[in-house]
Structure 1
Amino acid sequence: MHTRPEGIDLAARSRARRRALQALYAWQLSGSHMNAVIEQFRHEQDMEVADLDYFEDLLRGVEMHVDALDAALRPYLDREVAEVDPIERAALRLAAYELKYRLDVPYRVVINEAIEVTKRFGADHGHSYVNGVLDKLAAQLRSAEKKA
């Protein structure tokens, strides 16, 4: 697990999450290898304003743990993971990765960021769905933190 590093640029992390959502969306739809998606985003996106290390950690973490993340999400979904809107699915997987493996990021930040990226890129009420699922997942994965 990661510990909170000093001097994190929170705005750069938010931008990294937005770029990671877009990259994960592309990965889900294209079936391309994650390395190819990361390289494409490095060249096409304005990555110098994002936290590139965090961007890559999110994407490689989701790719490595996608089956475990989907299994963690499944009890809180009202349909199969594959049937969830691709933007919402990408947001849920990114947030599930952060909740499970990035304990340096407070669960409230994870949920809020997922809601914001879903509002920006997803369907009209997608953020409400994402919020409901992640609130339940956070209660399971971060129960001590939620009680504090």
Structure 2
Amino acid sequence: MKPQSRRPQGIDPVHRTRARRRAMQAIYAWQLSGGVAQQILAQFAHEQAHEIADLAYFEDLVRGVINDTAVLDAGLAPHIDRAVEEVDPVERAVLRIAAYELHQRKDVPYRVVINEAIETAKRFGADHGHTYVNGVLDKLAAEWRSVEVNAAKQR
């Protein structure tokens, strides 16, 4: 008998990783330009559609972050050492996407959210940005996903 996978059927983790990376780039561009969500989505869908295998997830992340920025930033604020707008733009984009996933995408385990954010920060961020991202998200996950985090600690 095959062991049961916790991953929902039809979800390819590689496609989700690519969607998160493209979403980070889109959110980064949005942070710098202040554009409208639809413009950012259209630009990325047109220019990089061949690289975004999970387009629906990409769009959910981008729309979600742009629409819920105030809530996400309010959640992040107590766990960072400066104003959210002063955080490096790459790390800020990574944190906002991960915060959105922790807050709205309960189908994604918190450990996956944090690991994906760390890997994205390693790839695109400053030298030690991933450690900052890890520390902030560990605290945010303990607050927003306390039941899940506590259950994981009991194992």
Q: What range is the shorter-chain TM-score in?
A: over 0.9
Match of 2:101 among 98, 103, 119: 98
Match of 1:130 among 125, 128, 133: 133
SS of residue paired to 2:35 = coil
SS of residue paired to 1:15 = helix
Residue identity opposite 1:145 in structure 2: E
SS of residue paired to 1:8 = coil
Distance 2:125 2:33 in 1: 18
Distance 1:26 1:19 in 2: 11
Which residue of 2 is the match for residue 55 of structure 1?
A: 58
Distance 1:80 1:40 in 2: 29
Which residue of 2 is the match for residue 9 of structure 1?
A: 12
Identity across aligned pairs (percent)? 68
Deviation at 1:147, TM superposition (A): 1.2
Which residue of 1 is the match for residue 26 of structure 2?
A: 23
Q: Which stretches in structure 2 are left out of the alignment for 5+ residues?
A: 1-6
Deviation at 1:49, TM superposition (A): 4.4
Deviation at 1:45, TM superposition (A): 1.3
Give the number of the structure with larger relative contact order, counting CA–CA contacts within 8 Å between residues 6 or more apart. 1
Q: Which stretches in structure 1 are left out of the alignment for 5+ residues?
A: none
TM-score, with length taken from structure 1: 0.94
Distance 1:22 1:48 in 2: 12
Which residue of 1 is the match for residue 67 of structure 2?
A: 64
Which residue of 2 is the match for residue 141 of structure 1?
A: 144
The 1:49/1:97 distance shift into structure 2, 3 A limit, reads: closer
Distance 1:137 1:7 in 2: 29
Tell me the matched-pair count: 145
Higher Rg of the two aligned structures: 2
Please, which moves more after superposition, 103-112 or 36-45?
A: 36-45
Deviation at 1:47, TM superposition (A): 3.8
Distance 1:12 1:133 in 2: 25
